Structure 1
Amino acid sequence: MSSLTTSFHGDRTATGPLTFGQRNVLLWIGAESNRWSSVIPLFQPVPDGCTTAGVAAAVSVLIGRHEALRTCYLTGAGEPVQQVIQAGELTTEVCEVHGDEMAFVAALERRLCARPFDLRSELPVRAAIVTRDHRPALVVLIVCHMAVDVGSIEVLRRELTTLLAGADPESLGAPATQPLEAAAAELSAVGQRRSAAALRHWRDRLSQAPLRLAVPVAPGATTAIPQRVRMTSPAAARALDGLAARSSAGRSVHVLAAIAAVLGLRTGTDACLFASVSGNRFHPGFGGYVGPLAQDALVAFSLTAGTFGELVDRAWAGQLAAYRHSRFDPEALWSVIDAVQHRRGHYFGRDWVFNDVGTHLSDAGADVPADTRFAWTDVDQVPVMLFFRLIAVRGALDLELHVDARYFPRGEVELLLRGVERLLVAAARADLPLAELGDVTGCTPLPRGEGWVRVGPHWVELAEVRRLLSDATGGPAAVDRRPDGTLVGYLAGRPGIDLRKVHLDCMALLPDRPSAAAPARYVVCDTAPDDPADPDAWLGRPVVTEGDGR
């Protein structure tokens, strides 16, 4: 292995506030549970005739063009800022491939990703050139998520392809909007009004829809069991061709509606609420932007449609409304989420996420099998229960799913994905009445014993609520659901007990308990009955205090 150092030059040195996208990434980039997505790789084949020096120079041109690639972040006391560096040097590794090329490149990627980026002093990009017979064959860029999102990577891929083909850098034209200008626009009066409207959208949807996928946890499973599966289905792609021909909604929306329908059937819910990652590149001036623009769009719609076609229309309307409200102050959003959770007594787990990355991937769908194929891989981490990545919809539906097997074991996952495929195929023949969803997909509602009850739009397991209250208070507890749907918790305590603290302690324990919720009302008695798990046994005991804890 050797290295090559090249210089890069930009237009300015400058300092300013972070964009919404940068602040959003900064909130989670250092968290252990999200390290899986703290970098994004770019693998670019090198055409014949290029030299190693020419390839390294092309990478330096990209760094000079795009300020996000030569920005450090000062995150000490006070508001974090971005600091653009005008000029500097990039050291690129040069590695001759040995043995199996795919394994060699995978090992190189792991090594380049092994050390976290130092946001304060390090360029947010690492580069390597893989050579074959001492001629450049592949460029590998590992870019910190503070500098790019998936859309940015594809901008860099297009420009790098052009440069490696021998084009003059001037042919790329002027760079798009830079992050400092984006931050200024977001802090303007117009940008602040847009952010406020987005926060209202989130508050309204979070206040009405079910916040969790209430599913049982595998016995004995206390930590995440991360896995990844990729379903490749030619049959589903053919069905999407037919569905798209008779609908104004795109193929991606049909896939999304099918996922929502199957999950709704399986979990027994009649409304859905989920995050759909919005690239935010439809705003003027951001098509060629390099920087993290993507933020969550909160999608909500009812699943009580008559036919699949009606459900697709609802999904499309819900998605469009969400995308119009997907640029916002991320810290302010968490204040909104915390307030709604506290009031409703349910945790917003961001349990399932939909990310359509196919529009960014030029080589998506290249490998088309003859029949449906499932490819399973163990992974280090998974951020949520279900993270769907739609990779391709033409030739074969290419749908990847990161899953926490504590909640959805392998057999369950394949049942759900097969259900999505079967639903699309059936709906392509004729608009499918959703009353036939179970027969068509082979999915049935999760079995729920008598301890499961509906509390508003949520399914709740009373035994888990009782365990939550007992763990939060360190004493015996009981839980009951009153005829009006109110969830009441009983506990023993002394006069002066702080019900606000009891409620906060319950809320703090909710993240890993998807079938639990905090009671809407707390009743504190002087002592516990002989059978503290029986809510009827608490009736008639002297009440010390009661309230909602809010």
Structure 2
Amino acid sequence: MRDLRTEKVPFTGERSVTAPSTWGQRQAWLDMGRMRPGTPYNVTQVLLVPEGWTVGQVLDRISETVGRHEALRTLFFEDDRGELVQRVLDSGEVQVEVWTAEGSPEELLAGAMELNRRLEDAVFAHDSEPPFRAAICAPGGVPQAVIVCVTHLTADLQSTRLVAEELAGSHRPAPALQPVDVAAYEGSERGLKREASALAYLRDTLTAFPASNFTAPPGKAEEPRHWRGGLTSKAVTLALEVLATRHRVSTSTVCLAATAAMLGAATGEARCGLLLIVGNRIPSELRYAVGSLAQNVPVLIDLAGPGFADLVRTVWSASMGAYRHGRFAPAKAWREIDDVTRRRGGRPELDCFFNDMRGRKDRLPQDRTAAELRTAARETVFSWEDRRATGGTFFMEFGDVFGEPDMTRLSLFADTCLLPPAAHEALLFGMESLLIELVERDVPLAEIAGLTGLAGLSGVSGLSGVR
């Protein structure tokens, strides 16, 4: 890229310390170990720079933020026993790219997207390089946006959002545990007691899990086999607010209930097992922590219904159990999984995921009619976003759309053997249709396949058994 330079931004922190890794860091380390060497595993976040700031002020703010949060200046390595260790630096430098080219709005947007891609594809040397980078978009030398990048090993999505908000001045740093302190708690008597409870939950839940959510014989695979479809919808945003208010639950609970309902409609099964990406921020000392806290926790959802309102109550209860048991050492969890597998004579379903990636929304719910939402749905956009040779069975995500706060992005990455492209697309559009219909009336679960267009599609694993 033209007019691009690299700055080495110095930082200083309060301490240098070496300590055991946290459970969340070990989860990310295991995930990375399953990838091909050199595969990037980063999360980025874009923030708008307040008017009047200079590039120098942005660089100073980056230096202060990295110095404040130990997660952003931590190295990782394995000790002689093969255990992951974290080492916090008290001084060093982070890399920041500054792009000063001028151009049309379209050219500037394309350049910003290229900077974001470069950061997403960056491969960090975790044993020698701080796990933080950034890029400043400053056409003509005037900063307009900053792209923050951290590795999943050191910070999850919510942590990256907190860092971005601090840089932009929209969030004041709040007291929170540093990763070294989190690791100390996890190794304490209280932490180990909490872990024992979580492992017992894991064992009991996976014992009752289905062997697969898709029990019918697989169909013919597309080439490549795993596809990601994305749907961007204002109607979904509005419907979630109405339904969450009506049922007195969070919009995330409604998202999970809708996902379970649509999965059941596609497979014809009476229950489904999902792995939730749990943020683990319920304790006040972790609410504003910057670190890798998220872990995968199983939840078993009964699809007996009979109506969606009944399913919402079921999902709320089941998900609360999962959220309360989301912290444990991954190696111990895998020992439990192996033990459950031996006792069952086969592994439980571990390839279907749900992740609500949306940020905090300080919005007041508004009364909306289904007719208004159907009008909004005319603006919904669907596209195939990715195709890969390898991947999981079913990974459903709800996310934000940058610069469009009224929009929600539904993303589904699925195996075409089990969910052919036509059914994949129908499931996403069907979820929007279901949420709109629910604004008008409670929908029996037995009607969802017909209501959403899934019924009658050929090649859908399990549709022959729809209730």
TM more than 0.5? yes
Q: State the 1:349 CA deviation.
A: 4.6
Structure-to-structure mapping, 1:124-135, within 5 angstroms: 124-135=131-142
Choose between structure 1 and 2 for higher RCO, CA contacts under 8 A separated by at least 6 residues. 2
Corresponding position of 1:435: 446
Shift of 1:115: 4.3
Given that residues 15 and 82 in structure 1 are in contact (C-alpha distance below 8 angstroms), is that contact kept between their aligned partners in structure 2?
yes
The gaps in structure 1 that reach 5 residues or longer are: 166-170, 455-550
Letter in 2 for 1:21: G
Q: 1:7 to 1:241 in 2, by over 3 A?
A: closer
Distance of aligned partners of 1:381 and 1:285 in 2 relative to their CA distance in 1, 3 Å threshold = farther
Name 2:410's counterpart in structure 1.
Answer: 399
Aligned to 1:50: 53
Q: Residues of 2 paired with 1:245 and 1:92: CA distance?
A: 43
Higher Cα Rg, which structure: 1
Per-residue CA deviations over 1:288-316 (Å, capped at 9, x if unaligned) read: 10001011121112111221111110011
CA shift, 1:444, in A, is 2.9
1:86 to 77, 90, 112: 90
Distance 2:425 2:410 in 1: 12
3-state DSSP class of the match of 1:40?
A: strand
In the other structure, the counterpart of 2:145 is 138
Alignment pair present for 1:385 and 2:393: yes
**Farther off after superposition, 136-145 or 321-330:** 136-145
CA separation of 1:283/1:445 partners in 2, compared to 1, >3 Å: closer, same or farther? Answer: farther
* Deviation string, structure 1 residues 104-133 (Cα, Å, up to 9, x no partner): 223223333444211111110122222201
Given candidates 131, 148, 152, the residue that maps to 2:155 is 148
1:188 counterpart residue number: 188
Amino acid corresponding to residue 371 of structure 1 in structure 2: E
> Counterpart amino acid of 1:388?
M
Shift of 1:408: 2.1
Cα pair distance change 1:131/1:304, threshold 3 Å? same
**Cα distance, 1:9 vs. partner?**
0.9
SS of match in other structure, 2:247: coil
Kindly provide the amino acid, as one letter, of the partner of residue 402 in structure 1: F
Residue 396 of structure 2 aligns to a residue in which SS?
A: strand
- Show CA shifts across 1:164-196 (max 9, x none): x8xxxxx94565210011011111111111111
Query: Is the contact made by 1:350 and 1:384 (CA closer than 8 Å) also made in structure 2?
Result: no
Is the Cα–Cα contact under 8 Å of residues 69 and 178 in structure 2 kept in the other structure?
yes
| CA drift at 1:355 | 0.9
Which letter maps to 2:15?
R
The equivalences for 1:59-458 within 5 A come to: 59-78=62-81, 79-97=83-101, 100-162=107-169, 172=172, 175-214=175-214, 216-219=217-220, 225-360=225-360, 370-378=378-386, 383-391=391-399, 395-444=406-455
TM-score normalised according to structure 2 size = 0.86
The alpha-carbon deviation at position 73 of structure 1 amounts to 1.0
CA separation of 1:22/1:84 partners in 2, compared to 1, >3 Å: closer, same or farther?
A: same
Q: Deviations over 1:412-445 (max 9, x none)?
A: 1111122222322232222222233333223238
How many angstroms does 1:453 deviate by? 12
Distance 1:32 1:387 in 2: 17
CA contact (8 A) 2:148 2:164 kept: no
Indicate the residue corresponding to 2:368 in structure 1: none
Q: Distance in 2 between matches of 1:134 and 1:207?
A: 59
Query: Structure 2: how far apart are the matches of 1:182 and 1:106?
Result: 35
1:7 aligns with 2:7: no
Relative to structure 1, the CA distance from residue 346 to residue 189 in structure 2 (aligned partners, 3 Å threshold; closer, same or farther) is same
Cα distance in 2, alignment partners of residues 196 and 227 from structure 1: 38
Contact persistence 1:301–1:314 (CA under 8 A)? yes
Distance in 2 between residues matched to 1:252 and 1:331, nearest whole Å:
29
User: How far apart are the structure 1 equivalents of 2:39 and 2:349?
Assistant: 18
Q: Post-superposition shift, 1:400?
A: 1.9
Q: Which amino acid aligns with 1:286?
A: L
Residue pair 1:154, 1:360 contacting (<8 A) in 2 also: no
Partner of 1:41: 44
> Residue deviations 1:61-115, cap 9 Å, x none?
1110000111101214212211111111224222223662232223223333444
Say if 2:166 and 2:173, in contact at 8 Å, map to a contact too.
no
Preserved contact between residue 271 and residue 301 of structure 1 (Cα < 8 Å): yes
Tell me by how many angstroms 1:379 deviates: 5.1
In structure 2, the partner of 1:527 is none
| Matched length | 441
> For 2:393 and 2:463, how far apart are their aligned partners in 1?
20
Unaligned runs of 5+ in 2: 364-375
* CA–CA separation in structure 1 for the residues paired with 2:98 and 2:345: 55
Q: Secondary structure in 2 aligned to 1:443?
A: coil
The one-letter code of the counterpart of 2:220 is: P
Amino acid of the residue matched to residue 77 of structure 1?
A: D
Deviations 1:463-494 (A, max 9, x none): xxxxxxxxxxxxxxxxxxxxxxxxxxxxxxxx
**3-state SS of the aligned residue for 1:376?**
strand
- Determine helix, strand or coil for the equivalent of 1:285: helix
The two structures, once aligned, show a CA RMSD in angstroms of 3.0
Q: Deviations over 1:256-280 (max 9, x none)?
A: 2122122112212111110111111
In structure 2, how many angstroms separate the alpha carbons of the residues matched to 1:238 and 1:392?
Answer: 13
Report the 3-state secondary structure (helix = DSSP H, G, I; strand = E; otherwise coil) of the residue aligned with 2:143: strand
One-letter amino acid of the counterpart of residue 41, structure 2: S
8 Å Cα contact 1:306-1:435 kept in structure 2: yes
Q: CA 1:209–1:404 in 2, change beyond 3 Å: closer, same or farther?
A: same
Relative to structure 2, which stretch is displaced further, 133-142 or 224-233? 224-233
The 2-side partners of 1:63 and 1:398 are apart by 31
Q: Can you list the C-alpha shifts for 1:134-184, whole angstroms capped at 9, x where unaligned?
A: 22222222211111101101110111011xx8xxxxx94565210011011
- Structure 1, residues 206-264: CA drift from partner, whole Å, max 9, x if none? 1112132325444366x863432222333444433432332122222222212212211
Percent same amino acid at aligned positions? 34
* C-alpha distance 176-123 of structure 1, shift in aligned 2 (>3 A): same
Q: Which residue of 2 aligns with 1:519?
A: none
Match of 2:28 among 25, 31, 34: 25
- Determine the structure 2 residue equivalent to 1:485: none
Distance in 1 (alpha carbons) for counterparts of 2:136 and 2:33: 28
8 Å Cα contact 1:213/1:351 also seen in 2: no
- In structure 2, distance between residues paired with 1:195 and 1:301: 23
